Structure 1
Amino acid sequence: MLRALDIHDMLIIDRLALNFQPGLNVLTGETGAGKSILLDSLGFVLGWRGRAELVRQGADQGEVTAEFDLPTGHAARAVLEEAGLPVSDTLILRRVNARDGRKTAWVNDRRVSAEVLRALSDTLIELHGQHDDRGLLNPRGHRDMLDTYANLGPQIATAHTAWTALGRARKALYAAEARVAEVRQEEEYLRHAVGELDAIMPEPGEEATLDAARRMMQASEKIKKDVARAGEALGMQGAEGQLSDANRWLGGAADRADGRLDAPLAAIERAMFELDAAQRGVEDALDALSFNPAELEQTEERLFAIRGLARKHNVLADDLAAFADDLRERLALLDNSERGLADLQKAEEAALAAYDAAAVALTDARSAAATSLDAAMAAELAPLKMERAVFATVVSNGPAGPDGRDDVSFTVATNPGAPPGPLNKIASGGELSRFLLALKVCLSQAGQGGVTMIFDEIDRGVGGATADAVGRRLAALASGGQVLVVTHSPQVAALGAHHWRVEKRQTEDSTTSTVIPLDAAARIDEIARMLSGDQVTDAARAAARALMPS
C-alpha cells in the first residue's frame, strides 16, 4: 500500500507531501490544476517512462520519494531479495532528476537502476485508464490475467514440469542423433583403425620395453665374445685354477709356517667365494645374451608397428591403448545406435504425450474460465449502462511453451451485430473506461496481493446513475485494499473514503500546484463545486450531501 508521496521541484510543484490511506482515495480539481503531474511524479519514482522534462523551472533538480507498506508475503519482497536489497516492512523509493537529464534512484537508501524500480513497480502499482498500455489493455498480459482469475497455478506448474522434461528428452535425442551422424561419417575409418589396433593390441609401457630388448639383442653379438672370454679367465684355466693351486700349495706349507699363512689362506678363501659369484653372474649374462635371431626380428617388427600407429594417429605410443578404447566406444555407439535411438525416441514421445496432456488440460481450463469471465463481465456491464455490449475472451492456438499452447485476448463489441475487436481499438473513451473497470472488478476476485490500484479519469464520459455505478465499483475494489482515483465525477468523489483537492496557484512570476486534504465540510463544498461549477449554492451543497453515503 502507498503510504506517502513527497515531491520536490517537479514541473509546477515546488514541494508537496501527501499521506495516503487504505480504501478509496479521491483526487479532484479543475482541469489543468495538476492532477496528471501527481501521476507523472509517481510514475517517475517507479521508473516508468514519461515526460522528458520534469524539473521545475529555476530548480537544479527534481526529487520524488514514495513510501510503501510491505506486508509479509508481498511480491516486492522477492524482487528486493533477488536484487540483493534490504527487506523490511517499509519500502522507500527515492529518485532524483537533474537539470541535465541525469536520473538517479535509491531503494531503502541503496542505489539502484531504473530496471529494478520497474520490477518493483509491477508488484506495487496498477495504473488503469485510457492509456493503460502496461495493464489491462496490453494483450501480452491477458493470458496471465485469465490464469489468475481461474486460479490455474497448479495446472501451470504441471505444464512447466512437463515442458522441462520434454526439453531434456529432446536434447538427449538430438545429441545422440548428432553423435551417431558424426560417427557414421567416419565409420570406414573407425573400422579400419580398430582392426589395425586390435591386430597389435599395444599396451602402455610396451614401446620402452621392446626398445630396451632390441637394443640389448643388437649389442649382444658385440659383447658376448668378451663376456665368454672373461668367463674362461675366471674358470679352471684361469683365475679359479690358479687360486686353487695357490690354496693347495699354501695349505701344505701352513703346518710348518707357525701361523704366518693363516691370513693369506683366509683371504684366498674369500677371493674364491667372490670369484664363484662372478662366475655365476657371467654365466647368467651369457644366458641372457643368447637369443634366437628370429626374436630380434619379431621384436623390431612389433616395435616399428607400434611406433607407426602412434605417428599415424598422432598420439603417444603409450596412449594407443586408450585411443583404441575410445575408437571402439565410438564404433559400439554406431553398432548399438538403433536400439539406443529407439529408447530415446520412446522417452521423447512419452514426454511429449505428458506435455500434450498438460497443455490440453490447460486449454480446457482456460476455455471454461473464459466462459465464466465473459458471464461475470456481462453482469458487471449491465449496471454500467452497457448491457448491449459484448465482452468475449478468445482462447486460440499459440506457440507451445512452458505455459501451454494458448493465446488469450480480450475482445469487445459495443454494438449489436458488430464484429468484436481488441479492447483498445473498438471502445470509445467512456466505454473503454467502463470496460476496464468491469474487467478489473471481475479479475479482483482472485485477490490483489497488496497492489495499489490507480484509476486515471476512468469515469470520463459518464454521469448520473452510470457514474454512481462506477463509484460503487471503485469503492468495492478499495475494500480491504487501496485505490487512488483521479476523477471529475461528483458521484465518484462522493464515495471516497479520503479526499484531496488539487489546486493551481498563480502569481505574477510563478505557477504552482498544490494538494489539499479535505475534511467533511470541505468535501461537501468540493462535490458541490463539481455539481454546479464556480457558484456553489446551498442547493448544490444539499445535492452533494445526498450523494455522500450516510
Structure 2
Amino acid sequence: MLQSLSIRDIVLIEALDLEFGSGLSVLTGETGAGKSILLDSLGLALGNRADSGLVRQGTKKAQVTASFDTPIVGSKLALYLHDNDIDVEPGEPLIIKRSVKADGGSKAFVNDQPCSATLLRELGSKLIEIHGQHDDRGLINPKGHRTLLDTYAGADGAKVRQAFEGWQSAKSVLKKALDDQEAAEQDREYLEHSVAELSKFAPQPGEEQELALERATMMKGEKLTGDLEAIRAAFDGSNGGLASLRAAARRLDRISEDHPLLAEALQAIDRAVIEASEAEEKLNDAAHALTFDPQRLDDMETRLFDLRALARKHRVEGDALPQLLIDLETRLAAISDGGKSLGTLEANVKAAKKDYVDAAETLRLKRTKAAKALDKAVAAELVPLKLDAAQFETLLEPLEEERWGANGIDRIEFLISTNPGAPLAPLGKIASGGELSRFILALKVALAEEGGAKTIIFDEVDRGVGGAVASAIGDRLSRLSDSAQLLVVTHSPQVASKGNAHMLINKSSNGTVSRTDVNALDREGRRQEIARMLSGADVTDEARAQADRLLEGV
C-alpha cells in the first residue's frame, strides 16, 4: 500500500507531502488544477520516462519519493526484491526515490540502493496499477486481452514459449538439413568424381614437402656425381691415399722406438688414418644420399606436379589434400545417408510439435476455465453499474496452425452486448461512451480482485456518466476499496462522496508564478467541495443540502 508521496519542484508543484491511508481516497479539483501533474509525479517514481520537462522552471532538478508498506515475507514482491538484491529490513517501509535533472539525466534508488529504470518499471507495476483516462484504449484492443486473461488465470506461459521455441528450432534444423541435402544432391557427381580421383592418388600428410626435398637432393646429386667419384677415387684402391697412410704407419711402427721423433710421427700418421677413414665414410654416405636415379627423379617429379595440380584444382594447399578427401567422403556419405538423417530430424520436429501442442492445450484449459470465471465476475459487476441487460463474454477460439505462436494456439477477445437479443461484438464497436466506461470499470474490478497490485489508481473512470450511474460507480469503487487501496481522480460528486478521504487539488497564482497544492479536506471542506462540484463556481445552499445527502453515512 502507498503510505506517502513527497514531490519537489515538478512543474507547478514546489513542495508537496501527501499521506495516504487504506480504503478509497478521492482527488478532486477544477479542470487544469494539476491532477495530471500529481499522477505524472507518481508515474516518475514508478519508472515512467524521466522527462526533463517535468522540472519546475528555475530549478535544477525535480524529485519524487514514494513510500510503501513493508513487503510481506514470502510474497511475490518480497521475492522479486530479493532476486534483485534489494534489501528491506523487517518493519521498515519500501522507499522509492527518483530524480530528474533540468539538463537531462535521472537517478533512481530503492531503499537507498541505485537501480535501473527498467527494474523500477517492473517494481512499479507490482506496487501500483494505474488506469488512466485513455486506458480503455488498451482494454478495447484485442491484442491485450490474452495477457489480461492469462493474468486473471494465473497462467504462466513460459512452458508454452519454451516449447514453441524448441519446435521452431527443430524446424530450422530440419530445413537447413533439407537445403544441405538438396545442395549436396546437386554436387553428387562432383563429389563422386573428386573422391575417386583423390582416393586413387592417395595423398599423404606432409608428402609435398618430402617429395620436394628428395627431388632437390637428387638434382644436386646429378651435379656433384663427377666430383664425388674423383674424390672417392683418391681414397680407394691399393694406391689410394688412405692405403698409403696405412702402409707408412706399419713401416714406421717397426722403427718408431729408434728415435723419439719417429714415435711422434707415428702418432700423427695414426691420427691422419682415423680422420681419413671418417672422411671416406662421410663421402660414401653422401654418395649414397645424392645418388642420381633418372627414373626415380622422373617418378618423383610426376607425382609432385600431379599433387600440386590437384591442390590448385581444389583451391587448397598440397598438405590439405588428405583432409579434403576425408571431408568430401563425409559429404558424399551424408548424401547417401541423408534419408536416415532426415528421418531423425523429422521425428524431432514431430516430437517438438507435440510438446508444444500439449503445453498449449494445457494453457487453453486454464484459459477456458478462467474465461468462464471472468465472464461470471464481470456479469456480477454489470447489474450494480446499471447495465442489467448487458452481456460480457470472453471469446476463446482456436487459431489456424500457421498463426500459432509463443503465446499459444488461441485467439482471445472480449465481446459485449448491451441490448437483449443483440449479438455479441467487440467492446469498442458496441458500447456508447458512458456504457464503455462502466464496462471498463467492471472488467478492471474483476481483474483487479485477482491478486493484482494492492494499490489501484482510477483517473476519471466515471467520465461521460452522471446521476444514478455515477452513484453506482461510486458504490462499486467503495466496495472494491475493502480489498485494495484505491486512489480515484474524479469530477463526479457522487463518486467523490464515497471516499474515506478527500483531497482537493488547487492551482493558485500571484500574477507571475503559478503553483499547485493538495489539501486534505475535513468534513466541512468535503461538503463545500462536493457542493461546488454540484453547482459550479457559485455554491448554493441547495447544493450544500444535496452534498449533505450524498455524504450521509460517511
C-alpha displacement of 1:130: 5.5
2:96 is matched by which residue type in structure 1? L
The one-letter amino acid paired with 1:90 is I
Structure 1 stretch 29-38 or stretch 279-288: which is displaced more? Answer: 29-38
Indicate whether 1:518 and 2:521 are aligned.
Answer: yes
SS at match of 2:415: strand
Question: Are the counterparts in 2 of residues 44 and 50 from structure 1 also a CA contact under 8 Å?
Answer: yes
Give 1:408-427 correspondences, 5 Å limit. Answer: 408-427=412-431
Query: Is contact 2:108-2:117 (8 Å) kept?
Result: no
CA shift at 1:66, angstroms? 5.0
* Distance apart, 1:420 and its partner CA: 2.6
Change (3 A) 1:61 1:150: same
**Partner Cα separation in structure 1 for residue 63 and residue 285 of structure 2:** 101
Question: Does 1:308 find its partner at 2:309?
Answer: yes
CA distance in 2, matches of 1:292, 1:50: 89
* Secondary structure of 1:18's aligned partner: strand
Per-residue CA distance 1:17-40 (angstroms, 9 max, x = gap): 433333211123456655455446
The aligned residue for residue 442 of structure 2 is 438
1:403 aligned to 400, 404, 407, which one? 407
Instruction: Tell me, yes or no, if structure 1 residue 362 matches structure 2 residue 368.
Output: no
Matching of residues 186-225 of structure 1 within 5 Å? 186-225=187-226
Paired residues, what number?
536
Aligned residue number for residue 229 of structure 2: 228
Give yes or no for contact 1:414–1:427 (8 Å, CA) kept in 2.
Answer: yes
Tell whether the 8 Å contact from 2:52 to 2:100 is kept in structure 1 after alignment: no
- 1:25 is the counterpart of 2:30: no
Q: How many Å separate the matches in 2 of 1:451 and 1:348?
A: 46
* Equivalent residue, structure 2, for 1:91: 96
Q: Deviations over 1:517-545 (max 9, x none)?
A: 11244334544665677224685465245
2:147 aligned residue = 144
Query: Counterpart of 2:382 in structure 1: which amino acid?
Result: L
C-alpha root-mean-square deviation of aligned residues, in Å?
Answer: 3.8
Name structure 1 gaps, 5 residues minimum.
Answer: none
CA deviation after TM superposition for structure 1 residue 423, in Å: 2.0
1:55–1:210 distance in 2 versus 1, CA, 3 Å: closer
Distance (whole Å) between structure 1 residues aligned to residue 52 and residue 285 of structure 2: 101
Partner of 1:482: 485
Residues 42 and 64 in structure 1, CA contact (< 8 A), matched pair in contact too? no
Residues of 2 paired with 1:129 and 1:222: CA distance? 100
- Counterpart residue identity of residue 478, structure 1: S
Letter matched to residue 203 of structure 2: P
Work out whether residues 45 and 95 of structure 1, in 8 Å CA contact, stay in contact via their aligned partners in 2: no
Residues 93, 44 of structure 1: alpha-carbon distance in 2 compared, 3 angstrom cutoff? closer
**1:185 corresponding residue in structure 2:** 186
Per-residue CA deviation, residues 87-129 of structure 1 (Å, 9 max, x unaligned), is: 8721123446x6xxx7654423999998887666645543336
3-state secondary structure, aligned to 1:448: coil
The 5 A counterparts of 1:442-481 are 442-458=446-462, 460-464=464-468, 466-481=469-484
Decide whether the 8 Å contact of 2:46 with 2:125 is kept in 1.
no
Conserved? CA contact 2:128–2:455, under 8 Å:
yes
Secondary structure of 2:383 counterpart: helix
Secondary structure class of the residue paired with 1:234: coil
Inter-partner Cα distance in structure 1 for 2:108 and 2:394: 39
- Are the aligned partners of 1:455 and 1:485 in contact in 2 as well (CA < 8 Å)? yes
The equivalent residue for 2:504 is 501
Q: Is the 8 A contact 1:127 1:456 kept in 2?
A: no
Matches of 1:121 and 1:185, distance apart in 2: 59
1:245 CA drift (Å): 3.0
Pick closer, same or farther for the CA change 1:282–1:487 going to 2, 3 Å.
closer
For structure 2, the residue ranges without an aligned partner over 5 or more in a row are 89-93
Q: What is the alpha-carbon distance in structure 2 between the residues aligned to residue 410 and residue 62 of structure 1?
A: 44
Q: What is the TM-score when the length of structure 2 is the normalising length? A: 0.83
Distance 1:541 1:460 in 2: 21
**What TM-score do you get using the length of structure 1 for normalisation?**
0.83
Match of 1:345 in 2: 346
> Are 1:251 and 2:253 an aligned pair?
yes
Query: Does the CA contact (< 8 Å) of 1:4 and 1:68 recur in 2?
Result: yes
Structure 1 residue 317: deviation in Å?
Answer: 1.7
Cα 1:138–1:104 shift into 2, 3 Å: farther
- Between the aligned partners of 1:32 and 1:213, the Cα distance in structure 2 is 98
Deviates more, 1:203-212 or 1:123-132: 123-132
CA–CA distance in structure 2, aligned partners of residues 250 and 508 of structure 1: 138
